[in-house]
Each structure stands twice: as C-alpha cells, then as structure tokens.
Structure 1
C-alpha cells in the first residue's frame, strides 16, 4: 500500500512550478503600463533581476544563485548584445518587492526579470506600471498575468491544451477530469475544462476528492464507476507527485481502471522526483515536459560551468535574457514594449520555443512523454516552431 499522503511541499508550492495557482488579483493597468521605456540599442541595456536572495531559507538562496547564474550564462551567449544585469535580492517576500522594483527603475532598469513568487511579481508589477516598465516574472500563476506583468513559468492552460489535443489525435476524445479539492486542483480543473472545450473533445465527467489519504480511498470506487459509466477514454489528473498522485493512480488501478481502458494524463510533471517513475500506478501515463534535448543541453552546460546542477526553474532566467537580447538586437528603441515582447514568432529558450501572449501568459512548445517500464519515453517531440503540429 502506498504510504500516507504527504502535504504538498511548501517550497514547490511557492515556486508555482505548475503545482500551485494562488488566487491573486491581476495587475490593473496604470498609466502607460506595458509600453516599455525607450532604449538605446547601441548602449548597454539595464535589466533588473529580482531573486529571492537574502532569505533565511537555504532553498531560496540556492534558487537565487541558480537564476543569476543562468541569466549570466544567457548574457554570455548573446554575442554583440550588451546587457547590464543588476541583481536585487527580495528575500522571497512580497512586502518589499514593490519598493525594490521601484528602486530598480530609479536605477535605470528598462525591464524587470523576476521575481519568483506570485505575490512578489504582482507587487512589483503594480509598483512600476505607471513607469511603463514590463515585468517578466518567473511565476506560472496566470492570475497575476496582465497589464505589464508576464509569467514565464509553464502554465496549467498551456499543458492542458497540449495534452488534450495530443490525446484527441490518438482517438481519446472523452475526457474525464479527476481533481483534488485544493486551490491548485480547482485551478487545474478549470484549465483542463477550457482545453477540452476548445479542442473538439468531450468533457465526459468531472470528479473531485478530498485531499487526504482517506479522501482518496473513499473516492476511488466512485471515480472508477463514473469512468466506466460515461465511457471515458482519458482520465486527466490534476494531482502532483508530492501530493495525491501516487495514491490515486494506484487506487484506480486496483479498481480495474487501467490505461488500456482510459489513458492517464497528468497536468504536472510525473518525472520529478525520478523515484515516481517506479510507481506501478503511473505506468503508461502521459504528461508534458519541456523539450528534453534542449533542456538537457542547458543542464550539462550549467553543471560544467558552475559545478552544480541548476535549480529546476533556473532555465526561466536564461529564457528571459534570451528574449530580451533577441529584441534588443533588432535595434529598435521600442524593443522592450509589450508589442515587441508578444511577437508571434516567439523566442528560443532552454526548454524549447516559447512566446509571450498579450494577456501576460505564455505558450511553450512541450513534448509528450509516456512512462514506460519505469522510463520516460518521448512519444511526441516538442514542436520547433509555432503553427505546426503540437500547437
């Protein structure tokens, strides 16, 4: 029997690695929010990097170091584009984030990269909206996106769309949502429902369960019975590996609901931690992940350069600098405006192609993987450009 459910790890929840979606108000447009201050493409462009350094948390300190290292790695790859990176420590707290963002703009920053946590990013965006400065946050929380705030992290909506469309292409069009009754679970449920509605597939049913071991045990028979009754051929789970995923997938297997009857789809990464791959309940399941080829290349370079593995979201700092550098290279004074940031062609990042949307969210090219014999097997590669298969 699977061990008692652990509480979702606080650090991962704060990071918003598609494991949490806090209910925060989005930034309200103020003044010239998002227009972006003019730059001189022939001079170094000042970029403020807001990281959770100066925190008492060792995890935050590691994260801050990884983000700064990745940003500097990206700057080194820009060739002739000159970026003046200025690092600001936030201690991971939303309280001082607004004042720090304002200070960065007073110091000459033309754009802000970071901060990590949703509350911080929201505060930073509000603080500098009247200055027209855009904020490329490391959050994945779509609730804070909008006006001058963009989220670089992978969103529930992006992942749900990719998986639903791929499942439909494989003939699995009757989707049943299985979600835990938590803020993240509810946000995930809504994202999956929207993805199904826009795909031509059918939402066969939605079943929630209490986020506890007893809640899962009590709900499993009902979930299995519902799946059979509605003829679902895909079960889309919001659960993550730190929470109820190990137990709910095993319980449903015990109830006879296997991927042969209904394919298991995961809204979160099922390969982190790697030990998850050995669980019987997730065998045959599908989930989405960044392009493994480009991301593994980044990890190897980072390890060789800094002598340690990068934090899982360090690549977002590289992506932000890569996007800024590509726009500055255009030679336009308005290179960091909202219009420029949301160019349809997108940018090349460490996890593959991505672009920023006008609503402040993002689209990322994701690969589809299956857990097969305790290994991650890519069954549909990440698209390399927008407009092709996978988007």
Structure 2
C-alpha cells in the first residue's frame, strides 16, 4: 500500500490497518441518538458499597483488545483504591468485544444488583447495552468517543471530535484566524470530523472556506494533495484543519503538502488528533508550528507513572477512561445523596477531575474535556495554552 514511499511516509503504511481497526473499535454501530431511553438512573444507598458493573472485552480473540481489557480493569481498580470515603463494589464482566455478549453481560450485572454500567468499549456494544438498560432505568458510561450513539441513558467518556474542534477553533479565532479549510477522509471518521469542525467554526465565528475529501488509501491521499493546495490558495484559507491522525493519513500529508508548497509558513496547520504520538511524528515537516490538543499534561503524567508503578506496564491510551468513570461515580457518591447516579447528578455543571484534567458529562450524552493547545517546535512539544483547571475558566 504505502511501502513504496520514503521513511516518513512509511509511517502511514505500517499503521494504516491499525488505524482502521481502532476507529472501528471506537465508532462502529452508528445508532439513532437517544435510542437508549430517558436514563433517569438508579437510586443508591450511600451508606453501603455501590455496585458498579465494569464491562470490558475480556475473552476477545483479538490480542489487542484483550490487553486493553486488562488495562481498563486495572485502571478502574486503581481508581477504586484512590477513592476517599466511598466504597465501590466493582464487578467485572467480559464482553469478548461482541454486542450480544455485552448486552447479556449488562443484564446479568443488573440481576446481580449493579446500579450503573461502566463500559463497554465498542459503540455497537454500548448501544445494545443502553437499549437493554433503559427499561431498567440504569445509566451507561461507555468507553466510546462516538457522539452519534450518545443520548438518553448512554454517555460516552471518550474525547469527541466536537470537543477538540471547538477548543482548536476557539483558540484560532482568538489568534486572528477566520477562514478554515477542512481536509477529511471519505469514511465515517472523516465525516464525523468534518461535521464537528463545521459546527465549531460556526460557533466561533469562523468561515469554512471549503472541504477536500480523499479516499482512505495511499492513492487517495496522493491524489488529494494538489486539490488541497489549490483550494487553500483559491479560497485564501488561513487555517488548514486535518481530521487524520498519525496512524492514518497525517504523516503522508505532512510530508507531501509542504513539498507542494503548502507549508506551515503559508497557512496555519491544525488537527483533530494528537500529533505527538508516536515520537517520530514530531520530525514531520508539515507539523512544525501546527496546533493540536493535549489533556492536562501534569495529571496525565501522574496517572501514567502511577499505573506503571502499580502494574508494571504503561497504560493503554484509553485506559484512563475507566479511571475517570470510577472517579466520577465516587465523587457523586461522596455527596451522600441517594440520587447520585441519576442523570441530573451525572450532568452536574461542575464536572469532575480525571486522568487528563477536568471533564463533565453533558445532557446530550457527550462530554466536555479540558484540553491544552500544543504545537511542535524544533521537534519538541510546546504547550501554547494550558488546559483549563475547571469549568468557567479560560478555554471553556
């Protein structure tokens, strides 16, 4: 596929299939928003341990999913141990990464007394679980970032494209940018990313100069390069917003667009995904001076170090979502209220503190996370605007 290109371009070849797998894991099974029901939620007895069901893909035939399941469970148990004055009865159920098994696991969990569901991983599974839990008045905090499934009793914990796009374009507008060109793949990920950028542009008073789509393949990216360059010049776009990530088309664009004259000096580059992983990405010419987002780096580092000290390995990139879910449940239960796990409590405006900083669950089932604006200078990550520490502060 991409093997004929230079070393920098080979990053795309090596990681292309992985990217497809990971996006599918996060975003498969698009469903009608709100299909999960009204989600008022279960009452609890704060004086007794709170039964929480953790649904993770234990039993999956995919080795990557099996490792992720282990890290999600480990992160959740770490969070339970960190709670002060709150007792959580954590019960773990394997889903094998399958929707039907996830739904049955959730039904078993509720029969066992669970008051809230944390997980599962896949969007299709999360939707199936939420549908089954709605008549039982149980809320679901899934490890997905797919906003299309959110609503009713289903909340997604993963950072969404809308959240990132709003943070990036809000920063861009405050720094004099007004005209954004969107470059996105012609697949589900690209479509969701493009729509998020368009909404964020409107919300922040920016104009969408245009959109260049491409087929998610080596040939598709190469064919899109001259179209991106010409569109940027014809529309006088001052911001180039890419939806791709370092495991997808981003390395190839970062190599080829500057070769075709669309350099960081000519237009402000920005992206919906993290540009600091893997480390070799920091050397790509098109990404120098570009803007991307990071979680609160201090909190993220503390979580990563503590996890490794406890379990001997670095946590999976999304393992912190399990910790965040337990942290939110614990913070609400600490209030001593019997309605701590109801929809109204889960969506409190003050939010919670998690592995990447402040976050809160929104009434539409999505979330808002505190993000820093970062750039790359001399192949090093530099934070331009730190992540807000709380809601109501700068950046929110």
Work out the CA distance in 2 between the residues paired with 1:217 and 1:65.
39
Q: Are 2:303 and 1:264 equivalent residues in the alignment?
A: no
Indicate the SS of the match to 1:208.
strand
In structure 1, which of residues 228, 244, 252 is the aligned counterpart of residue 249 of structure 2? 244
Q: What's the TM-score once normalised by structure 2's chain length?
A: 0.94
Alignment CA distance shift 1:21-1:204 (3 Å): farther
Specify the SS of the correspondent of 1:39: coil
Name the counterpart of 1:37: 42
Paired with 1:381 and 1:134, the residues of 2 have a C-alpha distance of 32
CA shift for structure 1 position 214: 2.1
Show the counterpart of 1:59. Answer: 64
Q: What is the alpha-carbon distance in structure 2 between the residues aligned to residue 361 and residue 308 of structure 1?
A: 30
Give the 3-state SS of the residue equivalent to 2:99 in structure 1.
Answer: coil
Once superposed, what is the RMSD of the aligned Cα atoms?
A: 1.4
Q: Report the counterpart of residue 373 of structure 1 in structure 2.
A: 378
Report if aligned partners of 2:372, 2:388 keep a CA contact under 8 Å in 1: yes
Deviation sequence 1:113-140 (CA, Å, 0-9, x none): 0001111111110011111100000000
* Change over 3 Å in CA distance of 1:43–1:131 after alignment to 2: same
2 CA distance for matches of 1:29 and 1:292? 34
1:341 aligns with 2:373: no
Q: CA deviation at 1:169?
A: 1.1
SS of residue in 2 equivalent to 1:285? coil
1:330 aligns with 2:335: yes
Alignment of 1:125-204 (within 5 A): 125-204=130-209
Residue of structure 1 equivalent to 2:128: 123
Q: Which of 21, 25, 42 is the matching residue for 2:32?
A: 25
Q: Secondary structure of the residue that 2:117 maps to in structure 1?
A: strand
3-state SS, counterpart of residue 331 of structure 1: coil
**1:13: which partner in 2?**
23
Deviation at 1:286, TM superposition (A): 1.1
Report the more deviating stretch, 296-305 or 7-16. 7-16
Tell me the secondary structure at the aligned position of residue 100 of structure 1.
helix
Quick one: which of 313, 316, 322 aligns to 1:311? 316
Matched, 1:87 2:92: yes
In structure 1, C-alpha distance between the alignment counterparts of 2:42 and 2:188, rounded to whole Å = 36
Question: Which residue, 49, 67, 71 being the options, matches 2:54?
Answer: 49
Greater Cα shift, 61-70 or 38-47? 61-70
Q: Which runs of 5+ in 1 are unaligned?
A: none
Instruction: Tell me, in whole angstroms, the C-alpha distance in 1 between the residues paired with 2:167 and 2:158.
Output: 15
Q: Give the Å deviation of 1:15.
A: 3.8
Q: Secondary structure at the match of 1:3?
A: helix
> Which of 354, 361, 366 does residue 361 from structure 1 map onto?
366
Q: Secondary structure at the match of 2:183?
A: strand
Residues 270 and 277 of structure 1 are in contact (CA less than 8 Å); yes or no, is this contact kept in structure 2?
yes
The structure with the greater share of residues assigned to helix is 2
Check the 8 A contact 1:27/1:122 in 2, yes or no: no
Kept in 1: contact 2:272–2:292 (CA 8 A):
yes
What is aligned with 1:235?
A: 240
Cα offset, 1:11, TM superposition: 3.8
Point out where structure 2 has 5 or more consecutive residues left out of the alignment.
1-5
How far apart are 1:14 and its partner, in Å?
Answer: 3.5
**In 1, distance between residues paired with 2:264 and 2:239?**
8
Structure-2 separation of matches of 1:166 and 1:59: 36
When residues 107 and 60 of structure 1 are mapped into structure 2, their CA distance, relative to the original with a 3 A threshold, is same
1:23 Cα deviation after fit: 2.9
Residues 187-218 of structure 1 show CA distances to partners (whole Å, capped at 9, x for unaligned) of: 10011001001101111111112222222222
CA deviations 1:2-40 (Å, max 9, x no partner) are 238433414422442xxx57533334254xx31111100
Cα contact 2:11–2:251 (8 A) shared by 1? no
The equivalent of 2:3 in structure 1 is: none
Q: TM-score, normalised by structure 1?
A: 0.96
1:372 CA drift (Å)? 1.5
Instruction: Give distance in 2, aligned partners of 1:111 and 1:356.
Output: 15
In structure 1, C-alpha distance between the alignment counterparts of 2:78 and 2:387, rounded to whole Å = 24
